[in-house]
């Protein structure tokens, strides 16, 4: 049974012609190595800042609800790391 996508191309790479737009899964980075390094560095710095603030909140015995303000910082750190890893 041959399955085709909406462009009329088969999901099997061997059955598609070589000049077809869908020939296999290839990941081409869309940013330079320098920009990837910047995203990794910004993610690491954001993570470090988040952990320092979290440590201070815990050391001073602040209510647990105040830790929710750290979510955007941790999300920014994760975003920087995943953008670096996925080369986007």
The overall pTM is greater than 0.95:
no
> Which is more confident, 44 or 7?
44
The C-alpha atoms of residue 81 and residue 88 are separated, in whole angstroms, by 11
Which residue in 10, 31, 47, 45 sits closest to 83, CA to CA?
Answer: 31
Contact 29, 36 (CB under 8 A): yes
pLDDT at 88 over 80: no
Residue 40 CA from chain centroid, whole number: 10
**What CA dihedral angle connects 61, 67, 73 and 79, to 10 degrees?**
130
Mean pLDDT of 24-28: 63
pLDDT at 7 over 90: no
The C-alpha atoms of residue 20 and residue 25 are separated, in whole angstroms, by 13
Read off the pLDDT of residues 47-63 as tens digits, 9 standing for 90 and up. 999 999 999 999 999 99
Mean pLDDT of 35-53: 95
pLDDT at 22 over 60: no
């Amino acid at each position: 049974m041959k399955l085709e996508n909406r462009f009329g191309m088969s999901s099997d790479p061997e059955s598609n012609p070589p000049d077809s737009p869908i020939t296999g899964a290839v990941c081409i980075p869309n940013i330079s190595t320098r920009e990837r390094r910047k995203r990794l560095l910004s993610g690491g710095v954001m993570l470090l800042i988040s952990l320092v603030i979290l440590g201070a909140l815990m050391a001073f015995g602040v209510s647990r609800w105040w830790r929710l303000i750290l979510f955007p910082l941790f999300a920014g750190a994760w975003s920087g790391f995943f953008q670096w890893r996925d080369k986007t």
